[in-house]
Amino acid sequence: MNVQRYTPPAMLLHWVQAMVVLWLLWLGWHMVDLPKGAERSAAYSLHKSLGLLALMLVLVRLAWRRKHPAPRQMTRGWEARLATATHHALYTLLFLAPVAGYLASSFTPYAIKFFGVELPKAGWPDESLNGVFKLAHEAFVWGTGGLIALHIAGAAKHAFMRDGTLQRMLPAWLLRN
């Protein structure tokens, strides 16, 4: 079967983004239970840095996609429409979640640092605005998690069906033998 594959840069960006987002989800889930102190502060700082990295990655991915269209879909009908809608929603939430996180952090008295480099804030200490953006961030993250689960379920279905869809996004060295 001749499968149209994604470009190596698109694959790399996809898998790096996947690792960063899964790390963010894990860290975000665990850091809230840490007692106040140095460990919790370090976890929040890392989470913010990874969130900004995830935002940069999704912007690079969107720019790449504009110049390098995705290969033709292999599915048809409702599956193709579901895949397209899921991908569009996932890109949207991968953009909105870190923006809302950045804005939530902008309305606290704490600095926003990207791997140690202090960044400008879009706001000032304001508990109400912090709460609004924190709530939005959490909603976007839960939505992202649900879409990731749907995306993984679709990939698993295609792997089970052995229809060639999954191999479009896997590096060639993984497909040998």
| Ranges of the chain whose pLDDT falls below 70 | 1-3, 177
Asked if 99 and 51 count as a contact pair (C-beta separation under 8 A), the reply is no
Asked if 147 and 90 count as a contact pair (C-beta separation under 8 A), the reply is yes
Q: What is the pTM of this model?
A: 0.91
In 10 A of CB 94, how many CB atoms?
23
pLDDT digit string, tens, across residues 39-84? 999 999 999 999 999 999 999 999 999 999 888 877 789 988 998 9
Q: State the Cα–Cα distance between residues 17 and 95, nearest whole angstrom.
A: 12
State residue 75's pLDDT score.
78
C-alpha distances in angstroms, 54 versus 51, 110, 160, 163?
5, 21, 30, 30
DSSP conformation letters of the chain:
---PPPPHHHHHHHHHHHHHHHHHHHHHHHHTTSPTTHHHHHHHHHHHHHHHHHHHHHHHHHHHHHHSPPPPPS--HHHHHHHHHHHHHHHHHHHHHHHHHHHHHHTSSS-EEETTEEE--SS---HHHHHHHHHHHHHHHHHHHHHHHHHHHHHHHHHHHT-STGGGSS-HHHH--
State residue 162's pLDDT score.
87
